[in-house]
Amino acid sequence: MNHFLDIHKTDPDALRLIIDQGVAMKQARADRPKGTPDDEQPLAGRMVALIFEKPSTRTRVSFDVGVRQMGGETMVLSGSDMQLGHGETIADTARVLSRYVDMIMIRTFDESVLTEMAEYADVPVINGLTDRTHPCQIMADVMTFEEHRGPIKGKKVVWTGDGNNVCASFLHAAGQFGFDMTFAGPPQLDPEAEFVGFARDRGSKIVIERDAAKAVDGADLIVADTWVSMHDAQSARERRHNLLRPYQVNDALVAKAKPDALFMHCLPAHREEEVTSSVMDGPHSVIFDEAENRLHAQKAIMRWCLGV
């Protein structure tokens, strides 16, 4: 049994295996209707709890569909409706859920909720996003990049905007998959030193750049995310927008990257804020392949967690 808590906590060989299996499982389904089961049913007879303490479209639907395609069943739980949201400890919740279900996916606020759940659960726990990281997203992003451009090793990824949870998992992936990354954003919103340090310690070139135009020079991939994350105070919205406006991904910025650079965004996007519609819907964008690959990458993650 394996937990999938973070990219830096998962062995690079396991990460590679997951990506390759995600690709293989995607190919095996090819043009099948989404509601049809896979030929292989590794989750037959298994129940997966999907817990959400924050809103979600992609994570919720892709996990639910993924489990069903592999023959399992799901229950989607909202944190506030559970006793978890009314004072029951995470440890007790983990022990109880382990008696009912075979795997737990949780989207929560504080990372300690995830790690405590994993510590006390007897079943695999998967990180469906915390305030600090979003590893399932970046597994799908690596898969998407490689699907379009081949191995990501040695490539240059440019993160634009807020050094947030998604950026953190990208930095972990830089270290584990061996690519370089430039962060283009204001100093007030730099990624945590721990995340940058992890990637640098593993030999990735990580550059912190204040000028977005300089940052994208030679970029193989440009990534954007919302300027105000779910865990950010709405009162900080205006300040964040003012700080981040120079980092908008628009046609002029993309034109300064490599001619075949890709554009990614984990979604949901705020069109004309962090990215223009012309880029989202333009020739460099792979955002909907990226969203689709959440399904395939997570199916491989779940199989790895259960060893099936």
Q: Which residues are catalytic?
A: 107, 134, 137, 225, 266, 294
123 vs 287, which CB is nearer to ligand CP? 287
Q: Closest CB to ligand CP among 115 and 293? A: 293
Give the residue carrying structure tokens 């989750």: 43
User: Rule CB under 6 A: which of 252-291 touch ligand NVA?
Assistant: 266
Q: Quick check: 222 and 198 in contact, CB under 8 A?
A: no
Decide: is 65 part of the binding site for ligand CP (CB under 6 A): no
Burial class (CB in 10 A: 0-12, 13-18, 19+), 204: buried
Give whichever of 102 and 131 is closer to ligand NVA, judged by the CB atom: 131
Min dist. Cβ of residue 129 to ligand CP (A): 6
Residue 225 contact partner, candidates ligand NVA, ligand CP, none, CB within 5 to 8 A by sort of partner: ligand NVA
Site for ligand NVA in 211-240 (CB under 6 A): 225-226, 229-230
- In this chain, which of 164, 248, 293, 298 binds ligand NVA, going by CB under 6 A? 164
Shortest distance in whole angstroms from residue 230 CB to ligand CP: 8
Q: Is 166 in the site for ligand NVA (CB under 6 A)?
A: yes
Strand partners, 78: 52
* Binding positions for ligand NVA, rule: CB under 6 A: 129, 164-166, 225-226, 229-230, 266
